[in-house]
Structure 1
């Protein structure tokens, strides 16, 4: 079975890709960064999601020779001119402190009225293999709630209410989230290129 390296150690991201591949009936063995020998990973210094995703996918493919998919994703808040954007994971200073990140975001939006709390989750996914490079982008629009709700999902999910929903992203089932999330949309766009691998 062909292998696909996913440039992440995040088990939830890995599970999300597995569900997308299963839904597309694709036979690929998924490997995470924990499954391959460590290699130097370039810092995420690009100004956009696409640049960071492509750099991570190139690093993975060049280091292992295994087709590599990487994503860079985050939250773009209208009232903050698209921030935290590529800084989403370290918005509060440390890397990956989800609660601190969304609490800082809520504090920054305290005085912003409900009608101006629009935001979008963005995911850029890059695939690099011996067949070339593919980069796609998915977006999921919604609004920022005034307080967190739900305990599934990760990142800013508890404070993001998707368009047409009363529940936060952290209150949706995995299947509901996959069907409409930014990463689900981006991965769906990547399916034709992934199919060539399998």
Structure 2
């Protein structure tokens, strides 16, 4: 069965495809074209399920597994911002750069050179007659000065616990082993294996 990703975010597509190397992993846009999915949930998990269900229903086929991810960074000192609004923190259609700059500005406003923060990833898996939801977390701190050109999103201002470099500076292979998304996908992988055997 094909694994259809309910995302068009190139960074996420790349990370997920690397983890499921050897499987046919396809972003939904290659099949359905552009599709606006309104994320009305009040949690990462709710939004991940909304995206996966929507794409599964639009596909209208029983030979695919749909996988979606909803993730973001939360800064307790900012009341948990940006949280579930991480992808649109600077407004609808905002770029990664604009979102990053807004968070940096908020940290500077509060005089926070560094402060505890964490990433959350919710991964939803939807297949014929089945839905699953798993989570992964990565703790560390947010800093007010971006460092590094790697990764995407808020990676240049997040230093994982136990490291002195940002995700933007760390080798991608290290990031995959410690990231919130990597941890959630590691839990999703056996679920997909089970589903594949059921529907093979």
Q: Would you call these one fold, judging by a TM-score over 0.5?
A: yes
Match of 2:13 in 1: 14
Q: Deviations over 1:142-189 (max 9, x none)?
A: 101120000011100000111111110111111111000010011001
Give the whole-Å Cα distance in 2 for the aligned partners of 1:89 and 1:188: 23
Give the whole-Å Cα distance in 1 for the aligned partners of 2:41 and 2:111: 29
Match of 1:149 in 2: 147
> Which of 166, 175, 178 matches 2:164?
166
1:90, CA displacement in angstroms? Answer: 1.3
Secondary structure in structure 2 of the residue aligned to 1:171: coil
Change in Cα spacing, 1:37 to 1:99, as seen in structure 2 (3 Å) is: closer
Q: If the length of structure 1 is used for normalisation, what is the TM-score? A: 0.90
> Which of 58, 62, 78 matches 1:63?
58
Give the whole-Å Cα distance in 2 for the aligned partners of 1:145 and 1:113: 8
Show structure 1 runs of 5+ residues with no match: none
Show structure 2 runs of 5+ residues with no match: none
1:131, CA displacement in angstroms? Answer: 4.5
Cα RMSD for the two superposed structures: 1.7
Give the whole-Å Cα distance in 2 for the aligned partners of 1:37 and 1:11: 16
Change in Cα spacing, 1:93 to 1:41, as seen in structure 2 (3 Å) is: closer
Give the whole-Å Cα distance in 2 for the aligned partners of 1:50 and 1:123: 8
Q: Deviations over 1:98-120 (max 9, x none)?
A: 222122212212234457x1000
Secondary structure in structure 1 of the residue aligned to 2:187: helix
Match of 2:44 in 1: 49
How many correspondences in the alignment? Answer: 192
